[in-house]
Amino acid sequence: MHNKFCVIDGIALITGSYNWSKKARNNYENVTIIKDNFQVIQEFIFEFQNILYRYGNKKEIDETLIGTQIFDLDKYRDPNTLRLRNRILILEYQIVYLEQRKIEILKNIKAFEDKHDKELGQIILDILYFRKIRIEKDNLKGLASEEELNEANEKFEKYKNVFENNIRRIEDSNNKGLNDDELKSLKKYYREATFICHPDKVSADFKNVAKRVFNELNQAYKNNDIDRVKAILKGLKSGIWDIGKKTENFIEIDYLNSKSEILELKIKKLEEEINELKESETYKKIEAIDDWNFYFEEQKKKLLAHLELLKR
């Protein structure tokens, strides 16, 4: 066959007739990039390991890295074991990808809500205040009930407390100051570190350490703390945290079946959580907005106009 292929982190596939050389740029070749189609990607990984098994030099195979794991194919001559092992590798990468996707959605929602508070929060608070004042006056004239007055007061106080806490949190946090290039680097460092320390990719002996590092990494990433994320990645690469390799009992068929079922359940749960986030009102609103700055400017105009009416 004339095609070549490459699988990256179990979530991206590059395949086609294109030769990976400078000369190939001038040829009429083709290349296809597939992302997040785990069923297709799994077939390519399986084919790659079959090629290694049939034709690879034993010494070269021992030095071949897939993810962070070294394969010794002598241990996996049983086709069922090899197939399950490939399946688990894909499931692990799928979990890492889905968790990254979930955090990205949560970060985006939080960023939108923070911008909403900074751009519109004070105006909304003023609207609720002047609405409360108007109802107080109407109440004195007998035009508004005590129930309406209590409701207006409750809405104002509740929003005031939430708004002030949010603004205080935004001002106290270090979630600002990153430009587009820094945000891109932050995401790159985070993904690289995640693939090293994810708790599902280490043996039982190292799970507690991995969980602690992984939680700290996630918190730093949510806070856009690029220095901390970079430091954690550097620590993982240098071995400050001994994360360890996969357990050697990986060849046991019962263990593989059990591991596969557990990972599949976790994937199902993550997919449900992501779908639930996508069904939220905030996410749907974000997806429908092309330009946040334009959106908030338009909203600000409408709210200010409404506020002026209340003041009159």
Backbone phi, psi, residue 73, to 5°: -70, -15
**pLDDT, mean of residues 27-47:** 79
Which residue, chain included where needed, has tokens 């090293």?
A: 196
| pLDDT averaged over every residue in the chain | 81
Q: Structural domain boundaries of the chain? A: 4-77, 177-246
pLDDT digits (tens, 9 = 90+) for 176-218: 567 888 888 998 899 888 888 888 877 777 788 888 889 999 8
**pLDDT, mean of residues 82-106:** 81
**pLDDT, mean of residues 254-275:** 85
Instruction: Reduce the secondary structure of 133-146 to three states and give it as a string.
Output: HHHHHHHHCCCCCH
Residue 67 has pLDDT above 50, yes or no: no
Q: Which superfamily does CATH assign the domain made up of 4-77 to?
A: Endonuclease Chain A (3.30.870.10)
Which among 80, 264, 96, 289 is positioned nearest to 193, based on CA atoms? 96
pLDDT digits (tens, 9 = 90+) for 124-146: 999 999 999 999 999 998 888 99
Confidence (pLDDT) at 248: 45
Confidence (pLDDT) at 282: 93
Q: Does the reported pTM lie above 0.95?
A: no
Residue 84 has pLDDT above 60, yes or no: yes
